[in-house]
Every structure is written in structure tokens, then in C-alpha cells.
């Protein structure tokens, strides 16, 4: 199931963390619907391999730069170079994230700081780095941050990521107000458990929780990467032109159970 071919023709997009996981589904979807796409992540080997696969499997010429979202100057350089390659930035998808499960009483200051820096500060850095380009976007720049349904509730074992994702959601609300005058829309997508991702493998399947988690999802299955990618397309394209400062949960109807 997908959007009309060419719905993103003429658009340029950057996806942070686009080489792997949910980010790679977003890249593939944006690219096959017509956008030119650039990806940024820390590991060059992941970027090279991802670009090769996007070309081989989907015929997409995805451009890339290495960059750590925690480094504001480095990210600004990477984005400026990618904007040169792509002819601008119309769409920014803040997807890069880090997380690990650790009870708060055992979480070191550095562990806390590291996840806040990647998730929350990294999103701030990327939004600032893309601002000049988003302002110049013909039909209004789009920022879509990837959050999580857990951000609205407590998240035992992930205080750092929960606080960061909550912060990201508020940042999107604030940017929607401050940058609305530039035509920029800022929103977030909150995935539930998405199969085939490193997050679900590590945080759910390896903990032996797969059946237990599925039983609590009203639609009865994990989501797919394309479910998240389609939500991003809605918010990136003309279909989402009047949507700003809000979130879209893509979680099989699990709102009743969030936070347990």
C-alpha cells in the first residue's frame, strides 16, 4: 500500500540515521515517491552499504555524509554539503537515536547524558542546521521527528530516552509556533513496536517479551517499517500541508496500554 507515484517529485530530503532500521524504510519510501534523499550517520561502512542497497534494490541514488548529530558544527557542514548535492532541503527527518535499557538507579551520568545528547540535543542541532534550507523550501519546509509512543508516559528502564523523546515532542510544538512564519511545519511520528528493527529485536524479542507485547496490541501484530514511512510521507507531502505541531501515533491502537 503506498502513495501516488511522484507525489514527492522535486523535493529534497535528509534522513538522519537513514542507513539502517526505520530510517532506511523512510529513505526508500521518500525516494521511490520521487524525492532526492541524503542520509547522515556516524558509521561510513553503514552508509556505503546502505547506498549500495538503495541503488541495487530500488534504483535510488541516495547521497550520504558521515556526521554525529551531537556535533552541531559537523552536522551543519554535512547538511550544507548535502543541500548542495540535493538542490536544497525541503524535508528533514530527525530519526537518529540511541537507547539502551537500564534501571534509573544504575544509570550513570554519562549514560544519561549520552542518550539525551543523541536524541534531544541531536534533534535540536539538526533543526538548526537545516533551518536556512527549510526556509527556502518552495512549498514550506517540513520537519518530522521520530519519537515513540512511550514518550507520553513513564518508561521504566529508559528514563533517558523517555525524557529525550518527550523533549523532542515539545521542541516540535515550539518550532511549529516559532517557525510557522517561515512556512515550516514541525511534527513527530510515534512508532509502536516495528518488526525487523534493532530496537524491537533488542528491547522486546531478546528480552523474551514478543508474545506478551503482541497480545496487548489491539491489531494483534507488530508494525512494519513502511507503516512509519507512510506516516512520514503524509506529513512531508502536500497531504500534510495544514498539519503542524502535532504527533501521529502508528502503533496498532495501543494507546490504551501505553506506559504499562
Q: Tell me, residue by residue from 74 to 103, as one string, x for binding to ligand COA by CB under 6 A and - for no binding.
A: -----------------------xxxx-x-
Q: How far is CA 75 from CA 41, 46, 137, 171, 174, in A?
A: 10, 17, 19, 18, 22
Backbone φ and ψ of 233, nearest 5°:
-60, -45
If DSSP codes are grouped into helix, strand and coil, which group holds residue 152? helix
Interacting span for ligand COA (CB under 6 A) from 47-55, 59-67, 80-88, 109-117: 109-117
Contact string (CB under 6 A) for ligand COA, positions 232-251, x = contact: --------------------
- Minimum CB–partner distance for residue 110 and ligand COA (Å): 4
Q: Does 14 bind ligand COA (CB under 6 A)?
A: no
Q: Name the minimum Å distance from CB 162 to ligand COA.
A: 13
Does 32 contact ligand COA by CB under 6 A? no
Q: Which residue is nearest to ligand COA (CB)?
A: 98
- The interface with ligand COA within residues 169-228 (CB under 6 A) comprises 198-199
Q: How many CA atoms lie within 13 A of 234 on its CB side?
A: 17
- Check if the beta carbon of residue 241 is closer than 8 Å to that of residue 139: yes
Note whether 108 binds ligand COA by CB under 6 A.
yes
In the structure grid, which three cell numbers stand for residue 165, read together?
Answer: 523523546
CA distance 142 to 161: 24
Q: Is 149 exposed, middle or buried (0-12, 13-18, 19+ CB in 10 A)?
A: buried
Q: Which is nearer to ligand COA, 131 or 194 (CB)?
A: 194
- Contact segment (CB under 6 A) with ligand COA among 82-90, 105-113, 130-138, 164-172 equals 105-113
Does residue 114 bind ligand COA (CB under 6 A)?
A: yes
What is the grid cell recorded at 132? Answer: 536556512
**Residue whose cell numbers read 521527528:** 145
Judged by CB under 6 A, the stretch of 111-119, 134-142, 179-187, 213-221 that binds ligand COA is 111-119
Report which of 229, 244, 68, 219 is spatially closest to residue 142, judged by C-alpha positions.
Answer: 244
Given 73, 110, 181, 242, the residue binding ligand COA (CB under 6 A):
110
Give the Å distances, CA to CA, from 88 to 19, 141, 145.
20, 10, 19
Binding site for ligand COA (CB under 6 A): 97-100, 102, 108, 110-111, 114-115, 198-199
Amino acid at each position: 500500500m503506498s502513495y501516488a507515484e511522484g507525489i514527492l517529485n522535486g523535493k529534497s530530503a535528509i534522513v538522519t540515521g537513514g542507513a539502517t532500521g526505520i530510517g532506511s524504510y523512510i529513505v526508500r519510501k521518500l525516494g521511490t515517491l520521487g524525492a532526492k534523499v541524503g542520509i547522515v550517520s556516524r558509521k561510513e561502512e553503514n552508509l556505503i552499504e546502505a547506498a549500495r542497497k538503495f541503488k541495487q534494490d530500488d534504483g535510488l541514488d541516495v547521497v550520504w555524509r558521515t556526521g554525529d548529530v551531537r556535533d552541531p558544527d559537523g552536522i551543519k557542514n554535512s547538511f550544507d554539503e548535502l543541500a548542495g548535492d540535493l538542490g536544497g532541503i525541503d524535508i528533514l527527518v530527525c530519526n537518529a537515536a540511541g537507547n539502551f535499557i537500564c534501571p534509573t538507579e544504575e544509570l550513570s551520568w554519562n549514560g544519561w547524558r549520552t542518550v539525551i545528547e543523541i536524541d534531544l540535543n541531536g534533534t535540536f542541532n539538526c533543526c538548526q542546521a537545516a533551518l536556512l534550507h527549510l526556509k527556502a523550501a518552495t512549498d514550506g519546509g517540513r520537519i518530522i521527528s521520530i519519537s515513540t509512543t512511550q514518550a507520553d508516559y513513564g518508561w521504566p528502564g529508559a528514563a533517558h530516552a523517555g525524557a529525550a523523546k518527550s523533549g523532542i515532542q515539545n521542541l516540535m510544538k515550539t518550532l511549529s509556533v516559532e517557525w510557522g512564519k517561515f512556512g515550516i511545519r514541525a511534527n513527530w511520528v510515534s512508532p509502536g513496536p516495528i518488526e525487523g528493527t534493532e530496537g524491537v529485536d533488542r528491547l522486546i524479542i531478546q528480552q523474551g517479551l514478543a508474545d506478551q507485547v503482541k497480545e496487548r496490541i489491539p491489531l494483534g501484530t507488530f508494525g512494519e517499517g513502511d507503516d512509519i514511512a507512510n506516516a512520514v510521507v503524509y506529513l512531508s507531502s502536500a497531504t500534510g500541508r495544514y498539519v503542524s505541531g502535532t504527533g501521529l501515533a502508528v502503533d496498532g491502537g495501543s494507546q490504551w496500554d501505553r506506559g504499562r
